Amino acid sequence: MLTLAPDIEVLVRFGRALADPIRCRILLMLREAPAHPSDLANALDISRTRLSNHLACLRDCGLVVAVPVGRRTRYELADPRLGRALDDLRTAVVAVETDRTCLDAEEKDCC
């Protein structure tokens, strides 16, 4: 059963999903159009196993959904507004110091 996450939980899940560059690329690709895992793996030049782990994280975070299409599964953003949110985030001005990194940059856990 799907439920709606509270505001803070939505932001936390979105942040966790965006914490990995591959997941960011997956989300940007799905922003353009739904896709099958094999197409995503080929476009990203990663193994299907690695892609599967990232898709599982994105599903667990509630950002993508798996849609059965015949014998295959297609992935798409869970809500079209996520695409607009990604656009807004990509164009936001972020003030960073070039000699510093985010404290959580080394953290690799997910949802």
**Domain ranges (residues) in the chain:** 7-91
Q: Calculate the alpha carbon distances from 39 to 9, 44, 98, 107 in Å.
A: 30, 9, 35, 28
Per CATH, the architecture of 7-91 is what? Orthogonal Bundle (1.10)
- Is the confidence at residue 105, as pLDDT, over 80? no
Give the whole-angstrom CA distance, residue 45 versus residue 29: 13
| Claim: this prediction has a pTM higher than 0.95 | no
**Rounded mean pLDDT of the chain?**
86
What confidence tier does 10 reach under pLDDT thresholds 50, 70, 90? confident
- Is the confidence at residue 90, as pLDDT, over 50? yes
Task: Give the model's pLDDT for residue 97.
Answer: 75
Q: What is the pLDDT of residues 24-71, one digit of tens each?
A: 999 999 999 999 999 999 999 999 999 999 999 999 988 999 999 999
